[in-house]
A and B are shown apart, each in its own frame.
Chain A
Amino acid sequence: MTVLLDAVGLNKTFDNGVKAVHNVSLTVDRGETVGLVGESGCGKSTTAKMLLRLLTPDSGQLRFDGQDMMSARGRTLRKLRKELQVVPQNPQTSLNPRITVRQSIEFNLRAHSFPKSEWSQRVGGLLERVGLTARHGDSYPHEMSGGQLQRAAIARALATEPKLVICDEAVSALDKSVQAQVLNLLAELQRDLGVAYLFISHDLSVVEHISDRVVVMYLGRVVEEGPATSVWAAPSHPYTSTLLSASPGSGRTRIRLEGDPPNPADPPSGCVFHTRCPVAFDQCPVDPPQLRTVGARHNSACLLTSPERPVALPPVTAMS
């Protein structure tokens, strides 16, 4: 079976009444990279936490490698965790500041009962794979740079030989030149180890570069999902078009959105994007649109789109 992670209908409402995630479904196949994109408050981090079972979804299904992850407890859950790891966003805090890099990696090995006799060799191998030396292994986080720390975090994530690694804004805090190194590393690791990624970011250019498929979220909902190339070339939802056009230097005429992102505690009616959408019409505040197929494995939640008319907002490329 090629499907590795299968999440259906995840919902999460926090104690303060904010519905952070609204009926989100997501799949990741073996060895592929799925990019999850959206701005702050769109629910992508909350979704990631639910996938990792760090947060409990209010409802929905979650299957990993065929096994039900929602109801898994104790040992079953721990076994599942071996295959599903995370690389957090902030390199400065993603590793325990009081223990060495080696100890952080060994912590994961210990968690899944890898024999102690193998640890030294495994840690050495992992460090080498991510471009660090044994000296880095014996260093503390405060002695290392952001790029080195992220590499260490990646080494740690790979320690248990997972099938899926969730990169939660893993390169966002890095300088661009260092970011490129880490992105190359991630690609190389995928080639060599066949690991799948769920790559979360707000940076579209990075997501498009590294993903096979892209999922776009807005205010807790999936508004578009599809192959990276299609989404980039012909975005099927006005929000995606806006995001793409807003990437500075994208060469597209910027679509100006009026106003600010709505308050998640008080979302607009119907299609939650209608208050800022450049092509909203009278039906939009009324009917919340469902995700509909508009192309090969390409879905969009916009009343205007259909297989016959996959693009709601034709992009205008700026004459530079």
Chain B
Amino acid sequence: MATIDVAVNPRFRRRVRTSGTRRRLPTSSRVAGGIVALLLLAALFAPLLTSQSPTVGVLGDRLQGPGAAGHLLGTDGQGRDILARLLYGARPSLLTGMIPVAVAGLLGTAFGLIAGLGKPLLHSVVMRFLDVFYAFPAVLLAIAIAAALGSGSSNAIIALSVILVPPVARVAEAETGRLRNADFMEAARASGSSWFSLAYRQVLPNIAPAVVVYCTALIGLSIVYSAGLSYLGLGIAPPAAEWGLMISDLQQYMFTTPALLIAPALAIVVASVSFNVLGDGLGSYLNVRSETV
């Protein structure tokens, strides 16, 4: 009796890397996660990382380029150390990036659950209400709200929260909608539980991964928007350090000492991109493990 291995493609004879069922966070996301961690640490430990003041400068030292004595990244128009401003500025920049997302995450999920689980009428009412916000470009709406409320970081946070709720709500509603007619949902409805219990204990565990992943990436966007608001003078007030504010300060020197601008701009970009990449990686990692319906 002949034994023939003819169906085997010879190329596959070598050991193929096991894909298995446990996914790991892709390298890019790990790097991104590391960067995020560094940024958070830098913000937290700013006083320890620099002895310079972020708000008070020596006029005689103004507009020194990077690499000047004592000023690694140079000084701004008022003689303040750029590095110090960068580190201290990380706090408001990151906070005004993250807090609105946290708020939008909660509110948006709530709206999404209500719309997704409710009867068609309720669903329509909620979704159309959210659609109103989509009628305006998000940035302009944020600017309008912040301007109406007045400057200051808390108002900026409010403005950003408002514009971020609809996208999160959409994600939450879409995920909830997918689940609506699942067998276990029918069984759960038949069990006689309250709506809240149903939403919190049955639906939420299923939609949480998607929402969390989306929000993580949203932080990246929020950081850019908040810097934008500060840039326009709608955020935290000077002389506080904040990345958007720094850009607004330094832009007048763009043609004389352009190197100064690089620091805050790069900070914003790096922070934003890192959160995005982290969010993406989390997405593929969680989706494989989560075994959602």
B183:A93 contact, CB within 8 angstroms = yes
Question: Of residues 75 to 93 in A, which have CB atoms within 8 Å of B's CB atoms?
Answer: 77-82, 84-90, 93
Residues of A within 8 A of B190 (CB): 52, 54, 81, 84-86
Residues of A within 8 A of B193 (CB): 78, 107-108, 110-111
Give Cα A81–Cα B186 distance, bound, in whole angstroms: 12
Which residue of the partner chain, among A103, A110, A140, contacts B291 with CB atoms under 8 Å?
Answer: A140
Shortest CB–CB separation between residue B154 and chain A, in angstroms? 36
B191:A108 contact, CB within 8 angstroms = yes
Does A97 make an interface contact (CB < 8 A)? yes
Interface size class of A (residues with CB under 8 A): 35 or more
Give Cα A87–Cα B192 distance, bound, in whole angstroms: 14
Question: Of residues 42 to 89 in A, which have CB atoms within 8 Å of B's CB atoms?
Answer: 49, 52, 54, 77-82, 84-89
Given contacts A107-B202, A110-B197, A140-B291, contact A96 B191 (CB under 8 A): no
Shortest CB–CB separation between residue B86 and chain A, in angstroms? 41
Does A311 make an interface contact (CB < 8 A)? no
Does A95 make an interface contact (CB < 8 A)? yes
Give Cα A50–Cα B106 distance, bound, in whole angstroms: 35
B184:A94 contact, CB within 8 angstroms = yes
Q: Which of A97, A103, A142 has the most CB of B within 10 A?
A: A97
A96:B202 contact, CB within 8 angstroms = yes
Which residue of the partner chain, among A84, A93, A107, A140, contacts B197 with CB atoms under 8 Å?
Answer: A107
Q: How many residues from B make CB contacts under 8 Å with A?
A: 21
Q: Mark A159-191, 1 if CB is under 8 A from B, else 0.
A: 010000000000000000000000000000000
A98:B194 contact, CB within 8 angstroms = no
Give Cα A141–Cα B292 distance, bound, in whole angstroms: 11
Does A254 make an interface contact (CB < 8 A)? no
Shortest CB–CB separation between residue B210 and chain A, in angstroms? 12
Given contacts A107-B197, A110-B193, A110-B197, contact A96 B205 (CB under 8 A): yes
B205:A98 contact, CB within 8 angstroms = yes
Chain B residues proximal to chain A, CB less than 8 Å: 182-184, 186-194, 197, 201-202, 205-206, 290-293
Q: A82-B192, A86-B187, A111-B193 are in contact. List 19 more A-B contacts (CB 8 A).
A: A52-B190, A54-B190, A77-B192, A78-B192, A78-B193, A81-B192, A88-B187, A93-B183, A94-B184, A96-B188, A96-B206, A97-B206, A97-B290, A103-B201, A110-B197, A111-B191, A111-B197, A142-B291, A157-B187
